[in-house]
Amino acid sequence: MSVVINGTGSISGLSNVGGIASAQSGSVIQTVTSTSTSSVSTTSASLVTTGISASITPQFSTSKILIFVNTNGYLQNAAVGSFTVYRGSTNLSTGTSISAQNTIYSPSGALVSPIAMSFLDSPATTSSTTYTIYFCVSSGITLNVNYPGGLQSSNLCSFTLMEIAA
């Protein structure tokens, strides 16, 4: 569990009432960061997994999970590339069409673009919960995620999960 210790040495944001630990609403209970240097590609028009994921075990079933993903996408030709995050088999984007996902677009030629996504999820569990990046592309063109070439100096994907007290 990640906690904040203030200048007096006490822990802020957490309390123990009747032997049951609790957290102040809005406080960060824990943070998990996962990184990947794996580059993955697809030509699928339907969302498929990248295999890039991060897991967290919430301390409270009422907690929210704040998710941040930073990576890049590479379209090898004119197309629309789409990215989202799934919790298990649940798509966290607000729609199922490619336009409802986080997208990159090239009207002509190759394109390398940063991808930054954030979601606020309510998994309602204290079991280990895994979040995974999914992607797809229009037109049968190849789409890479976490692409190491072009103008990119590295292909480091950062996946951060923060448990927030409700």
- pLDDT tens column, 99-127: 567 889 999 989 989 999 999 999 999 99
Report the pLDDT value the prediction gives residue 13, as an integer from 0 to 100.
Answer: 54
pLDDT of amino acid 123: 97
What is the reported pLDDT for 45? 92
Quickly count: other Cβ atoms within 10 Å of residue 38's Cβ. Answer: 12
Give me the pLDDT at residue 1, please: 39
Could you identify the residue written with the tokens 């998994």?
123
CA dihedral sign of residues 5, 10, 12, 18: positive
DSSP string, 56-87: E--SSTT-EEEEEEEEEEEESSSEEEEEEEEE
Q: Tell me the C-alpha distance between 14 and 38, whole Å.
A: 37
Domain boundaries, the chain: 27-164
Q: Report the C-alpha gap between 65 and 7 in whole angstroms.
A: 27
| Cβ proximity of 133 and 46 under 8 Å | no
* Domain 27-164 CATH assignment equals 2.60.120.1340: yes
pTM of the complete model: 0.82
Q: Distance between CA 40 and CA 126 in Å, rounded?
A: 31
Give the list of residues 6+ apart from residue 90 with CB closer than 8 angstroms, or none.
Answer: none
DSSP-derived letter for residue 93 is S
Q: Tell me the Cα Rg of the chain.
A: 18
User: What's the rounded Cα separation, in Å, for the pair 12 and 122?
Assistant: 23
pLDDT averaged per 10 residues, the chain (length 166):
41 48 86 92 94 96 96 91 94 70 88 91 97 91 84 75 95
